[in-house]
Amino acid sequence: MANQTRTRPETAVVEWFAGHISSPVARLRFLQAAMHAHPPARPRGRFRKLRVWVAIPVLLSLVFATRPPPGKRLRAADPDASPLTTASVRPAAVRVTPLPEIWQVEKTKTWETFSNGLRIDDRFAISTHRRSYLAFPVSGPVDARGERRTTPAGIVYHTTESLQVPFVASENSTLERIGESLLNFVKHKRAYNFVIDRFGRVFRVVQESDAANHAGYSVWADPQWVYLNLNESFLAVAFETRTLPGQADATVNPAQIRSAAMLTEVLRRRYGIAAGNCVTHGQVSVNPSGLRVGFHQDWASSFPFDQLGLPDNYAAPLPAVSLFGFEYDSDFERKAGALLYRQAQFGERELRDRAAKARLPLPVYRKALQNRYHSWLAIVRRDATRPEEDE
C-alpha cells in the first residue's frame, strides 16, 4: 500500500517548481507542459532521473518565455490604463548607431553631391541671418541665462501642406509646375532649409548656417538641454505632401523617404546632431500664450522614424508637458492622432511623478514649471534678432 501512495521523484520536483510560480496562469501552463513531458509510462533505469532534471529547465523556459517583459505591462492600479498607456513614462532609450563615413563628392554653383548618394539642388538657395540661439540646462533655475550656440542642435520635419495632384506619369507637367511654384513660395517666405519634392529631389532653400521661419517658439529638449526657439536652433526639412488630422499613415512616396534618409545622415554627421533631436513639427509646436501643445499637427503621429534610421521619438514623454506643464484640450487626441496623444500622456505622467516626489500639489508644481517657461521665453524673445513669423 505504501508503494502505491509514494510520490514519484519527478512529480515531487514538478510540484516544488509549481509551488514557486506566483502567477496562476503561469503555474497552470507549467503543470500542463509537465504532463506532456512526463506521461504515465515509466522509463526504466538511471535515465528516469536524468530526464527529470533535463526537462525541468526546458519547461520553465517555455513558461516564462511567454510572460510579457516588465516594460510592456499595464499599470493595474491606473484607471486610465489602456493599450496605448504603458507603465513606463521615462524617455525611451535612444538607439545609438554609428553614422557611416560620408563626404562631399562634388560641388558646383547649382548642386552638391555626397558619397551616400545624396544630391542637393542649390538653384533656390538664399541667405537670411546667421543662426544664433540660447540653450537652457534641463534642470536650470528660473533665472538661468542660457548658453549661446550657433550650430544647429536638431532637425524638425515638416509637411508643406501644399496642393496635391495624383502622382502618376500623366500628371508629370502639373507635378513639375506645382513643385516649382512651391519652391518659389518657400524661398519668398524663407520657410525651410530643405524641401524634398514629390520626385524625391532635395532642394536647399535657406542655407544651413542661417535661420529659417519654420517653428518659431516651439519646445524640445534632450537629456541635457532645452530649446525654445527652434527657428534658430533646429534645421527645417519639409516634405512636399499634406497630412490630415489624426492621420496614422505616412503620405510620402519611397523616393522621398530614401532622400530624407540620406539627407538626415549628412546633416547629423556634419553638425553632430543627436538622433533624439530629429523630431516632427507636431511634436514641438506649442501655443506659448495658451500653454497648449499641438498648435500645428503636421507629422503629428505618422512620421516614419525607422525608415530614416532614427529612434521612435513618439515613445518619449513630450517635453513641453513634462518640463513646463503644458496641457492639451479634449479634442487633442482626434487632431494629433494616437501616437502624439500617447506621448503627451507620457509627459503628463512624468509631470505627476515629479510633483509627487517634490511633495507638492500638482497645480502648484505645474504653475512653477509654467513660470520657469515664461521666464526663459522672455529671455529668448529679448535675444531674438527679429520678430518671429510662425507661432
The predicted pLDDT at position 82 comes to 35
Q: Is 258 exposed, middle or buried (0-12, 13-18, 19+ CB in 10 A)?
A: middle
Q: Are 226 and 213 in contact (CB under 8 A)?
A: no
The predicted pLDDT at position 101 comes to 87
Half-sphere exposure of 259 (CA within 13 A, CB side): 24
Cell 517634490: give the residue.
358
Q: Global pTM?
A: 0.74
The predicted pLDDT at position 371 comes to 95
Residues 6 or more apart whose CB falls under 8 angstroms from that of 110 comprise 121, 122, 123
The predicted pLDDT at position 21 comes to 61
Q: Is 53 exposed, middle or buried (0-12, 13-18, 19+ CB in 10 A)?
A: exposed
The predicted pLDDT at position 249 comes to 72
Which of 88, 69, 92 has the alpha carbon at shortest distance from 78?
88
Q: Are 265 and 102 in contact (CB under 8 A)?
A: yes
Residues 6 or more apart whose CB falls under 8 angstroms from that of 264 comprise 155, 237, 278, 308, 309, 310
Cell 540620406: give the residue.
262
- 10-residue mean pLDDT profile of the chain (391 residues): values are 47 55 56 53 46 46 43 34 38 57 93 96 96 94 90 96 91 95 96 97 97 94 95 97 78 94 97 96 93 90 93 94 93 89 95 95 96 95 65 46
The predicted pLDDT at position 30 comes to 55
The predicted pLDDT at position 363 comes to 96
Extended beta strands in the chain, E state? 104-107, 111-114, 119-121, 133-137, 147-149, 154-159, 194-196, 202-204, 220-221, 225-227, 234-239, 278-280, 286-287, 292-293
Q: Is 19 exposed, middle or buried (0-12, 13-18, 19+ CB in 10 A)?
A: exposed
Which of 155, 142, 311, 273 has the alpha carbon at shortest distance from 218?
155
The SS3 assignment for 66 reads coil
The predicted pLDDT at position 87 comes to 38
The predicted pLDDT at position 251 comes to 84
Phi, psi torsion values for 7, nearest 5 degrees: -75, 135
Distances (CA, A) of 325 to 77, 190, 344, 377: 24, 32, 11, 14
Q: Are 131 and 152 in contact (CB under 8 A)?
A: yes
